Amino acid sequence: MSDTVKYVLSEADMPKVWYNIMADLPRPMPPVLHPGTGKPVGPADLAPLFPMEIIKQEVATEREIAIPEPVRDIYRQWRPSPLYRARRLERALDTPARIYYKYEGVSPAGSHKPNTAVPQAFYNKQEGVKRITTETGAGQWGSSLAFAGALFGIQVDVYMVKVSYNQKPYRRALMETYGARCVASPSEETQSGRAVLAQNPNSTGSLGIAISEAVEMAAQRDDTKYALGSVLNHVLMHQSIIGLETMKQLEQSGDDPDIIVGCTGGGSNFAGIAFPFLGQQLRGGRTRRIVAVEPAACPSLTRGKYAYDFGDTGHLTPLVKMHTLGSTFVPPGFHAGGLRYHGMAPQVSFLKELGLLEAVAYKQTEVFAAGVMFARAEGILPAPEANHAVKGAIEEALKAKAEGKAKVILFNLCGHGHFDMQAYIDYFGGKLKDLDYDEAELAMALAGLPSVAAE
Ligand SMILES: *Cc1c(COP(=O)(O)O)cnc(C)c1O
């Protein structure tokens, strides 16, 4: 067998539907609650923020939802994405394990995020929306939505966490190239932003603050809606195309994964690769180990509490039950910006509570070491977030070696790191430190969780 083993699908084999895990859950999920009344939210509560088709998908229970043809047409620009067998990495590790990775860095924005940005922009366009507001941390989501907005002729306003706005000018330039407006958050444009600046004029911002700003702007204007790049059910469903394609590609290989690994920020790329496989299991198929890898400095699944919490710092969003570090928790400034969210997708959290998936946390220096090893073996330079998945897969491959077992490991390489070279420069310069979050701050953030009667 040659060393380069790549499984490609024809365009005709690209999935025509997304997979919705709601159809296969063993019991219903806890409801989403209105922050004012404490009662379950209805479509009318969400209508100021999202187009109706997205609201329908958020609560849908059908197993399959058709991908609209205009969305498939754009997907075809980079999908089906390749699946590789990591033979050179296997050799470097001297492991009997067979390692596969699905590569989502081939999209125009360089990550999995356009998989949901494109349909979200499409449904907004269909319902006459002129402007979409959103937040972005490191800039991957902002640039993905900016790309999708450009294709559909929708204005995109991105509230970008101030520290990233200043540190990542290239992501900002990419958003502006696509025609989006990029605002450093906290900003003077919103009440939420002004409130934070009044308390702390030097605030460097957080995802929670930026979400408050974007939500506030969308709620105020009839022609404007809001879009979220992770966490919500419809986002995870859009990402299922990753796992659905992988299943078809693995049929060509004749292998079936024993272990599936993904990194988790809000949970969407992890769910994208894992849920189609987990759905098979929930319908009576074989059991596989499914491993979520998160940063030790923002460990919502391994250290957070499973409780109702807000999605944002300004407490404008509904309450969802999830693994959370508390909506006021601000993680230390480590380099995987896409993994710095205080919460976790409710679906991922629920399945973790049911014991259907595992979670593990690693520190950033060991995570970068794994990414560098991967780049030297396979040639692709992963995003700092993706390095967590690489680390998780390598650990499993080393375990398989110690046990002398030829395990099949699949992981999602969710994006490339070409915009994150400063992180690699810092790593090679010995400047990357393993930052610990502040235990006292975590305890305080958790003590501040909203009390909810329904619990
Ligand atoms: C945004 C992002 C993440 C984190 O988001 P998830 O919803 O957990 O997937 C991870 N990797 C990359 C490359 C990202 O852009």
Q: Which residue, 207, 195, 188, is CA-closest to 134?
A: 207
- Over residues 278-303, the mean pLDDT reads 97
Exposed, middle or buried: residue 76 (CB in 10 Å: 0-12, 13-18, 19+)?
A: exposed
Q: Residue 437 has what pLDDT?
A: 87
In angstroms, the CA 80 to CA 69 distance is: 15
Q: What order of strands is seen across the sheet that includes strand 131-136?
A: 181-185, 155-161, 131-136, 224-226
267 lines ligand 1 (CB under 6 A): yes
Neighbours of 247 (CB within 10 A): 16
- Over residues 63-74, the mean pLDDT reads 98
115 lines ligand 1 (CB under 6 A): no
What rounded mean pLDDT belongs to the chain? 96
* Three-state SS at 184: strand
Exposed, middle or buried: residue 404 (CB in 10 Å: 0-12, 13-18, 19+)?
A: exposed
Specify whether the CB–CB gap between 247 and 120 falls below 8 A: no
How far apart are the CA of 265 and the centre of ligand 1, in A? 6
Specify whether the CB–CB gap between 264 and 339 falls below 8 A: yes
> Which protein residue has the closest C-alpha to ligand 1 atom 15?
140
Give, for ligand 1, the residue of 106, 107, 112 to mutate: max count of ligand atoms closer than 8 Å to Cβ.
112
HSE-up (13 A, CA, CB side) for residue 425: 5
The answer, yes or no, to whether residue 104 has pLDDT greater than 70, is yes
> Which protein residue has the closest C-alpha to ligand 1 atom 13?
415
Who has greater pLDDT, 273 or 37?
273
Q: Residue 454 has what pLDDT?
A: 54
Q: Where are the domains of the chain?
A: 4-13+68-110+234-447
Q: Residue 455 has what pLDDT?
A: 52
> Which protein residue has the closest C-alpha to ligand 1 atom 3?
338
Banded model confidence at residue 352, pLDDT cuts 50, 70, 90:
very high
- CATH class (in words) of the domain with range 4-13+68-110+234-447: alpha beta
Q: For residue 189, what are the contacts with CB-CB under 8 A and spacing of at least 6?
A: 183, 213, 217
Residues paired with 134 in a beta bridge: 158
Give, for ligand 1, the residue of 101, 147, 230 to mutate: max count of ligand atoms closer than 8 Å to Cβ.
230
The answer, yes or no, to whether residue 206 has pLDDT greater than 90, is no
In angstroms, the CA 85 to CA 418 distance is: 22
The answer, yes or no, to whether residue 354 has pLDDT greater than 80, is yes
> Which protein residue has the closest C-alpha to ligand 1 atom 14?
338
Specify whether the CB–CB gap between 345 and 262 falls below 8 A: no
In this prediction the pTM is 0.97
The answer, yes or no, to whether residue 316 has pLDDT greater than 60, is yes
Q: Which residue, 67, 79, 80, is CA-closest to 119?
A: 67
- Give the position, in ligand 1's atom list, of the atom nearest the Cα of 383: 13
Q: Which residue, 311, 299, 137, 301, is CA-closest to 207?
A: 137
- Over residues 312-322, the mean pLDDT reads 91
Banded model confidence at residue 337, pLDDT cuts 50, 70, 90:
confident
- Over residues 175-179, the mean pLDDT reads 98
Q: How many angstroms separate the Cα of 384 from the Cα of each of 98, 160, 195, 366?
A: 23, 18, 32, 11
Lowest mean pLDDT among 37-46, 266-275, 357-366: 37-46
Neighbours of 24 (CB within 10 A): 16
**Torsion of the alpha carbons at 331, 233, 414 and 66, rounded to the nearest 10:** -160
Helix (H) or strand (E) run with residue 160 in it: strand 155-161
Concatenated DSSP letters of 332-389: ---S-GGG--SS--HHHHHHHHTTSSEEEEE-HHHHHHHHHHHHHHHS--B-HHHHHH
Q: How many angstroms separate the Cα of 250 from the Cα of each of 6, 83, 193, 334?
A: 10, 8, 47, 35
Tokens of 438: 């502040």
Tokens of 74: 């754009």
Give, for ligand 1, the residue of 111, 300, 380 to mutate: max count of ligand atoms closer than 8 Å to Cβ.
111
Give, for ligand 1, the residue of 140, 261, 344, 420 to mutate: max count of ligand atoms closer than 8 Å to Cβ.
140
Q: How many angstroms separate the Cα of 43 from the Cα of each of 32, 34, 58, 227, 232?
A: 11, 11, 10, 16, 14
Q: Residue 402 has what pLDDT?
A: 98
